[in-house]
Structures are given as C-alpha cells and as structure tokens.
Structure 1
C-alpha cells in the first residue's frame, strides 16, 4: 500500500516535511548556484546571516532555459534600499551570464523578521519548510514544526483580497508586450494556484509545490472552478501567447477568479493578520 502521508509532503508524525536539497539541484544549474553563493558572500560579507534556495532548482524539477532561480537572503540586520538595489543587480548579472535560468527572484529580509511572532506562520514557515539552506546558520532550527492546518492557510495566503487592487494597478501600468506581460502572468498565475491550493490544504491534509498537483487538489473540492485553476497552473509554468491573449488572462484573474477566490478564502479561513509586506 502506498504511503499517502509521505507522498503528500508530510513526515511520519504528520508535520510538513522540508522540501528540496542541494543534492537535488540539476547538473545544469549547479554553476549558477555556486556563482550566486560566492557573489552573496562578496556582496554582504559579515552582514550575511544565511541564504537559501527555494523553488524548482532545489526540488530538482527546474528546466534549463525556462526556470528561474529563487533565493532568500537573511541579513543580521534589517536590509535597506541600497541592499535591495545590490541584490537586484546581482540577480540581473546572473540572469545575463547563465542562459539556463529565466530570471532571478530574491527575497531579502532581516533575521529578526523571519523569527518574529507575526511571521511565524508565513515567512517563518516558508523558510522552515520550502527553503533549502545554502549559506550560514539555518533559521529553521529556531522555528516550530508545522501542520497543514487552517491557521497556516490563513496566515500564508489569506490576503488575496488586499492584493487584488495592487494587481490591477500593475496590469494597467504594464506595457502590452510579451516581454512585460509574461513574467506578470507567471507570477500572478502561481500566486492564484497556490492560494487555491492552501484554501483546500487542511482538507487535503498535505503539501505539494507542484502547480498541476495543486490545481488538481483544488479542483477536487471546487469542480466548478477546476478548469480556470488548471489553466492558471499551465500559465504559471509556461506563460505563452500573444500580448492580447496574455492581457486577457490577467484581466480574468482580477475580474473573476481572483475576487471569487478572495471571498471564498475569507469565508473558509478568515483574513490574514495585517503586517508589513516584503518589498
């Protein structure tokens, strides 16, 4: 009989198991990771507390030329605007040098914020369960273990209603070109699919970071919304189409799927506690 607990991302005690490892990094991406590690050390030196990988690269599912490199960097102190400029420049340089990645996304935070009570079931959970240590002391050692419960669901993605106005502003301001719209479609698609999944996560009783699996889990509880969620999963992986089509996808997110999902999320789990958002 299959071990459904482990297959759904839980350990033997029913806690979320940490996903990813340095050993799972595909061979093509190892030079990129090595360069990122060295450049982070050069950029921040003694201010760097720890650095992590997350996403498809440490999960071993990254596709050369299609996947981005995702990093989380924790400093001993709170980062400022010059620090954010520095990590953006570092990411741009990596993206230009290594064709196997399609962009670099970096979350830059201070150690104290990761360990704060307000972030315990959001950023803290993210580091403890979805991030693979790359440099420094692992902050997961100071964080609790997590279950796929309603508290985690609320505090991770219970703010979609507050995000939608900003999404509309970003869509309105974006150039109607593939270059401008593709990353926006990919980002919003992934966010919607993950929100749809965490809506049903406590009932599904597990975790997956696979967008198609997330969409299928969601569709099992909301069959009337399964088709648009499956389409969002596909766009989250490969946002293809002409500019007019991509813009239509974005409009459907903020006019239909997003508002419905925000209302249903608030009804089922409540709204996420307000806190300062990451830049």
Structure 2
C-alpha cells in the first residue's frame, strides 16, 4: 500500500504497476486520524486559555480535520487519498451541509485566510465542523479509544 499511494516514481520502470490495487482500509484511516476527538478537546482548551495564537491554532485544526476528511473520503470511495483540497471538495459533495465550513478550513490551511477568534470558536464549538467530522469519523471509521 505504501509504495503505491505514497511514493513518487522518478526513473525507470514503475515497480508499482504490477501491484494489486489496495482499497482504503478503515484501520489505516483510524491509525492516522483516530485521535481527532483528542485534538479537538486540546484545541478547545488552548483556545479558551489563549495559550496559542488564533491563526496558528486555526491552521492546526484545519489541517488535521481536513486530513480526517480525506480518511472519510478514502473509506467512502474505496481508494486512498491524503489530498486535503480534493477530500474537502469530495466530502462537500457527500455531505453538502459541510461545504461552506470545509471551504473555510481549506482557506485557513492554505493560508488564504486567517481565522478570527469568532470563526475559530464556531469551528471548534459543539456544533462546529470539527465536531461534525469527529462524529462522522467515529461512526464510520472509529476513534482510537474504540475497539478495532
């Protein structure tokens, strides 16, 4: 799986051409991002304490959440992706009500926009996009504290 999905072939015959395709595996997705709920709690604490600049905290939350969305897309579409932008767009097709907040996270992750404290508070809130991705990840893939 690693060679096919994460290594870039540079010269000569591509050794991965003969490899079988590997559908996405929920266990691998859980391994990468099954801790999203723990991160959300930490981000909320850091936001409340004011211990980290809003822009930095927003980018961290955006990048991790979008990577978890990529895991959701991978399992849903049965193919691997770690492309945050494509995953954000694809998950917006699957769950259209998340299109606007996922686009906001993408703009933070890309550095095109800086989160305001109010925006970050909303994103990290109980009904925010991060909590919604956590809930969907938990029900579809599972979290680290869940049995495999």
What band does the TM-score fall into relative to the shorter chain?
A: 0.7 to 0.9
Q: Which residue of 1 aligns with 2:29?
A: 153
Residues of 1 paired with 2:60 and 2:112: CA distance?
10
Question: CA distance change for structure 1 residues 234 and 190 in 2, over 3 Å: closer, same or farther?
Answer: same
Matching of residues 226-241 of structure 1 within 5 Å: 226-238=99-111, 240-241=113-114
Question: Cα deviations across residues 57-99 of structure 1 (Å, max 9, x unaligned)?
Answer: xxxxxxxxxxxxxxxxxxxxxxxxxxxxxxxxxxxxxxxxxxx
Structure 1: gaps spanning 5 or more residues: 1-9, 24-145, 275-279
Aligned 8 A contact 1:161 1:262 in 2 = yes
In structure 2, the residue matched to 1:186 is 59
Q: Highest relative contact order (Cα 8 Å, sep 6+), 1 or 2?
A: 2
Gaps (5+ residues) in structure 2?
11-21
TM superposition score normalised by structure 2? 0.74
Question: How large is the RMSD of aligned CA atoms in angstroms?
Answer: 2.9
Structure 1 172/239 Cα, relative in aligned 2: closer, same or farther at 3 Å?
farther
Q: Secondary structure at the match of 1:17?
A: helix
Structure 2 CA distance, aligned partners of 1:167 and 1:205?
Answer: 30
**In the aligned structure 2, how far is the partner of 1:233 from the partner of 1:206?**
21
Find the counterpart in structure 1 of residue 45 from structure 2: 169
Q: How many residues align?
A: 134
Q: What is the 5 A alignment of 1:76-95? A: none
Task: Go from structure 1 to structure 2 and tell me whether the alpha carbon gap of 1:248 and 1:16 turns closer, same or farther (over 3 Å shift).
Answer: farther
Measure how far apart 1:182 and its partner are: 1.9
Higher helix share: 2
- Shift of the 240–149 alpha-carbon distance from structure 1 to 2, 3 Å rule, reads same
Q: When the two structures are superposed, what TM-score results if normalisation uses the length of structure 1?
A: 0.42
Question: Quick check: 2:23–2:80 contact (8 Å CA) kept in 1?
Answer: no
- Residue 84 of structure 2 aligns with which residue? 211
